[in-house]
Amino acid sequence: MSGDVQLLQIGSFTEEFNKRLTETYKVHRLWEQESPDDYLKEVGPEVDIVVTSGRYGCSADIMRAAPKLKAIVSFGVGYDPIDIDTARELNIAVSNTPDVLNDCVADLAMGLLISSARRIAEGDRFVRAGKWGSEPFPLGAKVSGKRLGILGLGRIGKCIAQRANGFGMEIHYHNRRQDPSVDYGYEETPADLATWADFLIVTCVGGPSTQGLVSREVMEALGPQGTLINVSRGSVVDQPAMVELLESGRLGSAALDVFADEPNVPSALLEMPQVVLVPHIASGTHETRKQMQDLVFDNLDSFIASGKLVTPVL
Ligand code: NAP
Ligand code: 8YV
């Protein structure tokens, strides 16, 4: 890529990440503009690369406003809010940050599962409220040796399975296709998986292809003793149905890192003791976020030097 490369940054990252970007490249900061549309008209023709994340995405309008745009470099592995069809049509390369976050997302998924089964968050609230000694605390459910269903046995799902093996859990999964590289039991449908499982962890991709994949039927199959853990995307779960089933006891419990309309969480969930809620933090450790950041820079440097991305999705 010749001449001074110009970047369009869609949203703010950490202060340190923003600074590293502006110290390394010429960066246009879209999120700081009063009128992003006017700003895009002004700087769009100069933009070579968009920097974004799985939170901010990149719309077709942004791509079309930047006729020189050659690459979209995204922070995060999930790229569902990037309009991939338009990127493909316009011959724009796209990268994400796979693998470096597998451990932390898997750790959090297991943490959510254990927190829910053993009532850790609930117990914490109980102690802080000064109830210990004056009220009984309810028993939890055993984790070790139970049945874990993984919906989306990909990079992260396989790391979760490794951890669950350490807990002596039996593991089954559902992907669109059976994976010949693993010995875990394959279930033909998400409902079959949920029927079999005590705990269902959702780790498939987000976006239109999996919208509502965890349907009312799937959650009913998981049942009153079952636990739904979601570290994928809120869009994968029929959230209104989930709230209703939790309220009526037809779904036992849930532990959620992701929601349909972040950062908004249905108020009914806030009142439910059998639900664990965290604010989309699965990759949120110093170590992993640094590796994700470095991979963004590796992709930028490589694309600028050679026209090739290190971790392309397109
Ligand atoms: P991956 O390696 O691509 O795995 C995705 C898995 O989903 C694959 O096994 C795929 O198998 C399966 N899948 C795709 N469509 C499906 C469908 N319609 N039905 C059933 N299974 C389907 O991706 P990854 O790196 O593990 O990441 C998975 C997702 O986790 C990301 O896309 C992102 O949304 C989410 N994530 C969330 C956080 C967080 O902070 N909470 C952090 C990182 C990632 P087949 O193709 O065979 O169906
Ligand atoms: C990030 C994620 O927090 O990688 C993903 O898909 O959801 C998380 O790791 C997010 O992408 C950054 O906004």
Are both 80 and 185 inside the same structural domain? no
- Considering the domain boundaries, does residue 234 fall inside one? yes
Q: Are 193 and 182 found together in one domain?
A: yes
The answer to whether 46 is a known catalytic residue is no
Q: Ligand 1 pocket: which of 175, 202, 209, 257 to mutate (most atoms <8 Å of CB)?
A: 175
142 occurs within a structural domain? yes
- Report the b/e string of 79-92 with b at 16+ CB within 10 A: bbbbbbebbeeeeb
Q: State whether the beta carbon of 161 lies less than 6 angstroms from ligand 1.
A: no
pLDDT value at residue 3: 60
Ligand 2 close to Cβ of residue 55 (< 6 A):
yes
How many structural domains does the chain have? 2
299 and 237 assigned to the same domain = no
* 144 and 272 inside one domain: yes
Ligand 2 pocket, residue 78 CB under 6 Å: yes
Residues 301 and 244 in one domain: no
57 CA to centre of ligand 1 in angstroms: 17
Q: Looking at ligand 2, which atom is closest to the CA of residue 54?
A: 11
Torsion of CA 250, 255, 258, 262, to 10 degrees: 80
Say if residue 166 is in the same domain as residue 60: no
**Claim to verify: residue 123 and residue 244 sit in the same structural domain:** yes
Instruction: Please choose, from the candidates 70, 87, 53, the residue with its C-alpha nearest in 3D space to the C-alpha of residue 304.
Output: 70
The reply to whether 43 falls in a domain is: yes
pLDDT value, residue 57: 98
- Cβ 83 vs Cβ 59: under 8 Å: yes
Whole domain around residue 200: which residue ranges? 102-277
Ligand 2 centroid to residue 75 C-alpha, Å: 7
Instruction: Decide: 116 in ligand 1 pocket, CB within 6 A.
Output: no
Question: 176, 280, 286, 289: which is the annotated catalytic residue?
Answer: 280
**What pLDDT is attached to residue 184?**
98
Q: Is 142 helix (H, G, I), strand (E, B) or coil?
A: coil
Counted residue by residue, the chain has a size of: 314
**Candidates 52, 82, 283, 296: which one to mutate for ligand 2, based on the most atoms within 8 Å of Cβ?**
283
Q: What are phi and psi of 16, to 5 degrees?
A: -65, -40
Give the gyration radius of the chain's Cα atoms. Answer: 21
Residues 123 and 271 in one domain: yes
State in Å: Cα 107 to ligand 2 middle. 15
Q: Is the CB of 76 under 6 A from ligand 2?
A: yes
Assess contact for 148 and 174: CB atoms under 8 A. Answer: no
Q: Residue 156 and residue 249: Cα distance in Å, rounded?
A: 29
Per-residue pLDDT tens listing for the chain (314 residues): 756 899 999 999 999 999 999 999 999 999 999 999 999 999 999 999 999 999 999 999 999 999 999 999 999 999 999 999 999 999 999 999 999 999 999 999 999 999 999 999 999 999 999 999 999 999 999 999 999 999 999 999 999 999 999 999 999 999 999 999 999 999 999 999 999 999 999 999 999 999 999 999 999 999 999 999 999 999 999 999 999 999 999 999 999 999 999 999 999 999 999 999 999 999 999 999 999 999 999 999 999 999 999 999 99
Would 109 be classed as within a structural domain?
Answer: yes
Same domain, 233 and 145: yes
List the residue whose alpha carbon is closest to atom 40 of ligand 1.
Answer: 282
- Whether 313 is in a domain gets the answer no
- Does pTM top 0.85 for this prediction? yes
